[in-house]
Homo-oligomer: A and B are copies of this chain.
């Protein structure tokens, strides 16, 4: 068998989706229908649809009127260069206003904990491995659906100098601005982007369908003197896009006016 049956079936269904014969929200044929149509066993049909699910093209909805649905591709755009850069809006509000500007509803859940800093992150902050850090976690929802989790770690010594960092509530003006007011103005950012499959925790937190990767975004912020914080943000890959610009922003604005805030 040059091509396994499950792949042939998947290929035909995929073709129907990308060609537009099946549109977003449409139901694929049910498993019994596909068994009949291709003359294969149920498991083979399931192997085929599993391929499409893991490609992120299709999602399964349980129940009587459920089935395998062609998946929606929403994309919320997150502007890396805009967030937290000097400007009129505070950082958390920056995210909120981005979302609302794009016509969605934004909500957040905040939590503060003290954590032992994983080695990977200690290295970015240039502190001892295993040292303590303040973790400010913000789970961000778009239209009630979890969209990303921003975990920001501050070295413990910084939290002693800026005790508001230990406030277990969202800081209205944004922590970046607060730090700037306290003499810790961030003037450089180191951004990393990775695409990977979610850990089970991430899958739960972001309510990810099987076959959905995360876009992992790590930002390290520096003052003139030192790194002061590292933010680790897994974005649900199927619902987010990160945008960043370099060079003369006014040119971008000319050709992408929709990108301008406000």
Q: Which residues of A contact B (CB under 8 A)?
A: 11, 14, 43, 54-56, 75, 80-81, 85, 126, 186-200, 210-217, 222, 224, 226-227, 235, 237-238, 240-249, 251-252, 255-256
Per DSSP, chain A at the interface is mixed
Residues of B close to A241: CB separation below 8 A: 192-194
B192→A54 contact, CB < 8 A: no
Instruction: Identify the closest chain B residue to A219 (Cβ).
Output: B246
A227 to B255, CA, bound (A): 8
Q: Which residue of B has the minimal Cβ distance to A259? A: B190
Residues of B within 8 A of A75 (CB): 194
Residues A246 and B194 in contact in the complex (CB < 8 Å), given A211-B54, A213-B237: no
By the criterion CB–CB under 8 Å, are B248 and A188 in contact? yes
When chains A and B are docked, how far (Å) is the Cα of A249 from the Cα of B187?
Answer: 9
CA A11 to CA B186, docked complex, whole Å: 41
Give A243 to B199 CA distance when docked, in angstroms.
22
**Least distance between A10 CB and chain B CB atoms (Å):** 9
Nearest chain B residue, comparing its CB with the CB of A221: B247
Shortest Cβ distance from A14 into chain B, in angstroms?
8
Residues in chain B near residue A190, CB distance under 8 A: 243, 245, 252, 256
A243–B54 touching, CB < 8 Å: no
What is the chain B residue whose CB lies nearest that of A51? B210
12 A-B residue pairs with CB within 8 Å: A54-B197, A55-B197, A188-B246, A188-B251, A189-B246, A192-B241, A192-B243, A194-B215, A195-B213, A197-B213, A222-B247, A222-B252
A201 to chain B, nearest CB (A): 11
**Is the pair A237, B195 in contact by a Cβ cutoff of 8 Å?**
yes
Chain B residues near A244 (CB-CB < 8 A):
80, 191, 193, 244, 246
* Min CB gap A72→B, angstroms: 13
